[in-house]
Amino acid sequence: MTAACPACAGRQMPEHPAGWLAWQHTNGCPLRQFEDGRHVADLDLIASPRRRFARRAATPTEVTLLGALGYTIPADLATELRSITEHVIQRRWPQLEASINDTGGTAA
């Protein structure tokens, strides 16, 4: 599924190794600013001490963007992080992946 950012209409890049929330945001997009800040924090989280995986609560920006993709968001949504390269972190939402499997391959 490809969608547009609800703030700037930037295109989703569904095949990007970073995962579902890779977007071509415009420079002034406020969601891009939040995503960039979270990416820096996630790099710090993964880097300490040389972890390749981490788990944290989903951010409001992630919830907004996942909602734009058509997902119904549970209140306790968790984001799983996996280091792909030094600067690329893949984000996953197993709770949402389970809903795709339950509905035959589509978002909620």
Q: Per-residue pLDDT tens for 43-72?
A: 988 887 677 899 999 999 999 999 999 999
The pLDDT > 90 percentage for the chain reads 72
Among 27, 35, 40, 29, smallest CA distance to 58 is for 35
Q: How many CB atoms lie within 10 A of CB 83?
A: 18
Listed in sequence order, the DSSP H helices in 3-93 are: 30-47, 60-68
Confidence at residue 106, expressed as pLDDT on a 0 to 100 scale: 45
Confidence at residue 108, expressed as pLDDT on a 0 to 100 scale: 43
Confidence at residue 72, expressed as pLDDT on a 0 to 100 scale: 93
Going across the sheet that includes 89-92, the strands are 53-57, 78-83, 89-92
